[in-house]
Structure 1
Amino acid sequence: MKCLLSFVAVLLLLVPGMAWAQVVDDPWLPGGAEENSPPSQSDGADDASSADEGWSNLLRVEVATWALMPRAGVELDEGYFQVEPTAILERGEDFRLNLGAPLRLRVWGPKGGGVIRREDWDELSDWGQLVRTLQLGSDRSPLGIWFGQLDKYSLLSGHLVRRYDHRANPNYHPAAGVLTGTLGPVYVEAFTSDVLGTRLMGGEVSFDMEHILFGQPMERGRYALDVSVVHDWGRVGRSASVTLAHLDAVAVLVVRPGFESHVFAGWGGRPGVGGAWGAVAGAGADILTPSWDVALRLEARSQNGGFRQGFFGPDYELARFQAAGTEGVPLADASFPDGYSVFGEAEVGWDAVAYGGLHKHLKLSLGAEAFSWGRFDVDGRMSMQLFARSLEVALKGLAVGAGKPGARYLGAAEVRWRFLGGGLYAMGTGGTLLFPTDEGTLRPGAFASVGLGVDNAR
């Protein structure tokens, strides 16, 4: 093993010598799944590189150990040698291709497990992980197509799909697809969580009412009516088929340089299920300066008959097997008390030198919901770049059903440190996981990884 590691390290050190037309300036690109998510309507507005239409590219290789360890008395002891290559090619904001996937070679573990971790490649959908991002067009294009990983994804208004992670199941690695299009006063966004399988699909249509009623406005989208529908085919484990629909009205009240505020109200339900409905009203604000990029949202919600806003959320790919709580049933069949809730969300980015783009000294994403019957859900992510961007620390955590029996808690942390001029970096990560079983339950586990990486970023 030591000889193998030495050989790989020598090979990696040769990579920066390869010739490229132009390399990516940010040393942390693509640094995490969040940067591979589809662009929203506001993404890229402050991106300093968006005006650069030249080609840029990056090569990266990481080698690490990756171990699964026991947790909560569950036997789980497996170790792997992981090699993860990455290749990125992009041009402006309209084209991006990011290829790569981790290859885990077994070092120790149960007999008969095979050389390569079987769970990473045992179904057709797992081959989708080879495409991290394929983007053609942008959100400002008449038509845009995007494939890759969904992490913290919200479907426009976010009242059905909010902060969704389609790879929350650690044994499932699909590639999602997102289609966006604009035609006159109509904007459409449609998605599928798995382009190689039949899982979760949906879409939302936004009508610019000012445009429809009074002609082309000076500012688009100030008064909109949105209709969204999402359907889960229920073909995984014990999960049942689920369809949700929602109607939203949005009005932008204030538009100033660097500031925008809006209010909204909506109603949704489960078609074909009597008494399953919910209502929502709230407000939001966006603040954009050379150093700050802030989006705030506050909502008051009502839920009845098992319907709830944000049904397809960060925990959904686990809850479709077993929802948080003591019932031990999939989310589609779990009881959900009638009541009220308050939901808040904050997206904060800060960069001391106004670098622009996605990579900032501080990025914080937090969503929390408190229910009138004593339940509390929270999903948070934070990353920091320190010491001239040579050190990056990232934390994330998820709590579902806190305050009630059977609550679910997950967390992870990652550290990356660049040295020797920035081309070489060390990394370490660890956290907790939940693995779905054939019986439809969730098996707790933990993971840890340490390793080295090298790329041609500068």
Structure 2
Amino acid sequence: MHRKRSCLAALLLLLLPTTGGASEPPAPEAESSTTPDALPARKWHYLTRVEATTLAFLPRAGAGEDEGFMQVEPTFILDGGPEFGVNLGAPVRFRLWGGEDGGSLVRREDWDTLSDWGQLVRGLLLGSDDAPMGVWFGPLEEHRLLSGHLVRRYSNRTNPDYHPAGGIFTGTLGPLYTEAFASDVLGARLVGAEFSLDVEHIFFGQPEKGGRYTLALSAVHDGGRAGGDAPSMTLAHLDAMAVVVARSDIEAHLIAGWGGRPGEGGAWGAVVGGGVDYLTDRFNLRMRLEARRQHGGFRQGFFGADYELARFQAAGPDGVPLADARFPDGYSAFAEAIAEWDAVSYGGPNRHLNLSVGAEVFSWGRADVDGRVAVQLFERSLEVALKGLAVGAGKPGARYLGAAEVRWRFLGGALYAMGTGGTLLFPTAEGTLRPGAFASVGLGVDHAR
């Protein structure tokens, strides 16, 4: 149930070509035996890619001036199976026009801190969730820390001038399952861990399928010392979960929890809810529904999709960091759905879809929504991706962001054209957010073996 890191290897393959061949060297004669004791040969695949695009940052509401760049983005991916993978590469932006005092040749904001060098590592996987330990380094997108009541749908790349590499560690020791993470392995920023205890394992020995009844304790701290200085924050949460339906393809669970801010009296929250996971080789569907109570400034999902911007300036009329923002006491309803269709099972290579959306509606009139959808059509030669974020909708000072990307492959799939565009918010030295937009068009080529 909790062990969601078993598919981390898939993140390494996000940039693999959607068409084209892949090959591997033939196995030695001794390894091709069909006897029961023979072990299959490890399958290795690699991909090289380079993209060249024009990129423009455009001001909104008269904020700043426009800037233009030529962006070159090399990529190398090595896939060694479910327990090893490497994905290296980063965009390098050469200035064409704009910038204060003419600007530097290479966009300075992309490489001006130690944390920015983390963007060179897009994925490094060692081990897996089926092994006693697993480690992942790279960007975090829609990250959820186990129960998700402190960290949910979090991205460490929402700030366009901050490009850290995050780290995730998973480990199992008897009845104890642990997940720890850092949003920036090169800077003192967001760190947290959740310890999940298998109650059935303690009282009745190791069960055939673990994680049916668990107690979990999580804590997250933001040091606020990288990606721009901002107030620090510490939250903790206690959860109890029971799986009420457990079959090979479907699992349903109930959950209840309580959390607070250590050292802050009267800051607490409670949650009850449940979820359903339907997982097959062809189709995956995960759904969550929760009722929440907030009091004294605490809220579930505090470290969410908007956090890397809200830590400087929260959505709303006050214009203060999220750690200092007034959050009314009240109730909320949270819902989340994640759906994935496997292209090889639905209409052959003609359809492929990934959908993820989360929404929370508060009793005092506020709504937060974020989501993304990606679809591939025409034998996966055309890919369209959309994502959007609305924070504080229904109240003054609401925040809205969106982006779109289109990729079209031709000449057998090795060459593709691409275009992207959307809106951004840039943190400033004064702790405010400067609105902007971006647009990019270009070409890419890749080769897979």
Structure 1 position 452, deviation (Å): 0.4
Aligned equivalent of 2:388: 397
Partner SS state of residue 248, structure 1:
strand
**2:51 is the counterpart of 1:62:** yes
Gaps of 5+ in 1: 1-23, 31-50
**Partner residue of 1:445 out of 422, 436, 439:** 436
Aligned equivalent of 1:126: 116
Aligned equivalent of 1:16: none
**Partner residue of 1:83 out of 66, 72, 96:** 72
Distance (whole Å) between structure 2 residues aligned to residue 350 and residue 25 of structure 1: 15
Structure 1 position 258, deviation (Å): 1.3
Distance (whole Å) between structure 2 residues aligned to residue 345 and residue 28 of structure 1: 29
Is the Cα contact below 8 Å between 2:351 and 2:380 reproduced in 1?
no
* 1:319-360 deviations in Å (ceiling 9; x for gaps): 00000001010000000000000000000011353289xx97
Change over 3 Å in CA distance of 1:29–1:57 after alignment to 2 = farther
Aligned equivalent of 2:321: 330
**Partner residue of 2:303 out of 298, 312, 319:** 312
Structure 1 position 139, deviation (Å): 1.4
Structure 1 position 292, deviation (Å): 1.5
Letter aligned with residue 220 of structure 2: V
Is the Cα contact below 8 Å between 1:433 and 1:446 reproduced in 2?
yes
Is the Cα contact below 8 Å between 1:295 and 1:348 reproduced in 2?
yes
Q: Cα RMSD over matched residues?
A: 1.9
Aligned equivalent of 2:289: 298
**2:418 is the counterpart of 1:412:** no
**Partner residue of 1:248 out of 231, 239, 247:** 239
Structure 1 position 28, deviation (Å): 3.6
Letter aligned with residue 55 of structure 1: W
Is the Cα contact below 8 Å between 1:239 and 1:331 reproduced in 2?
no
Change over 3 Å in CA distance of 1:141–1:313 after alignment to 2 = same
Partner SS state of residue 128, structure 2:
coil
Letter aligned with residue 273 of structure 1: E
* 1:106-161 deviations in Å (ceiling 9; x for gaps): 00013331100000000010000001111100111101111100011000000000
Aligned equivalent of 1:259: 250
Distance (whole Å) between structure 2 residues aligned to residue 181 and residue 238 of structure 1: 32
* 1:248-272 deviations in Å (ceiling 9; x for gaps): 0010111123111111000000000
Letter aligned with residue 66 of structure 2: D
In the TM superposition, what are the counterparts of 1:27-176 in structure 2 within 5 Å? 27-28=16-17, 53-110=42-99, 111-176=101-166
Change over 3 Å in CA distance of 1:29–1:328 after alignment to 2 = farther
Distance (whole Å) between structure 1 residues aligned to residue 243 and residue 131 of structure 2: 22
Distance (whole Å) between structure 2 residues aligned to residue 131 and residue 355 of structure 1: 33
Distance (whole Å) between structure 1 residues aligned to residue 378 and residue 297 of structure 2: 49
Partner SS state of residue 456, structure 1:
strand
Structure 1 position 443, deviation (Å): 0.1
Is the Cα contact below 8 Å between 1:26 and 1:457 reproduced in 2?
no
Report the identity percentage: 69
Gaps of 5+ in 2: 1-12, 20-39
Distance (whole Å) between structure 1 residues aligned to residue 421 and residue 211 of structure 2: 43
Distance (whole Å) between structure 1 residues aligned to residue 387 and residue 375 of structure 2: 12
TM-score, L = length of structure 1:
0.87
Structure 1 position 29, deviation (Å): 6.9
**Partner residue of 1:214 out of 200, 204, 218:** 204
Is the Cα contact below 8 Å between 1:27 and 1:422 reproduced in 2?
no
Change over 3 Å in CA distance of 1:372–1:349 after alignment to 2 = same
Partner SS state of residue 313, structure 1:
coil
Distance (whole Å) between structure 2 residues aligned to residue 282 and residue 367 of structure 1: 15
Aligned equivalent of 2:4: none
Aligned equivalent of 1:269: 260
User: More displaced, 132-141 or 413-422?
Assistant: 132-141
Structure 1 position 202, deviation (Å): 0.4
Structure 1 position 216, deviation (Å): 1.0
Is the Cα contact below 8 Å between 2:17 and 2:446 reproduced in 1?
no
Partner SS state of residue 118, structure 2:
helix
* 1:366-397 deviations in Å (ceiling 9; x for gaps): 00000000000001000000000000000000
**2:144 is the counterpart of 1:186:** no
Is the Cα contact below 8 Å between 2:18 and 2:381 reproduced in 1?
no
Is the Cα contact below 8 Å between 2:181 and 2:192 reproduced in 1?
yes
Distance (whole Å) between structure 1 residues aligned to residue 179 and residue 229 of structure 2: 29
Structure 1 position 442, deviation (Å): 0.1
Distance (whole Å) between structure 1 residues aligned to residue 189 and residue 212 of structure 2: 34
**Partner residue of 1:361 out of 352, 363, 379:** 352
* 1:394-413 deviations in Å (ceiling 9; x for gaps): 00000000000000000000
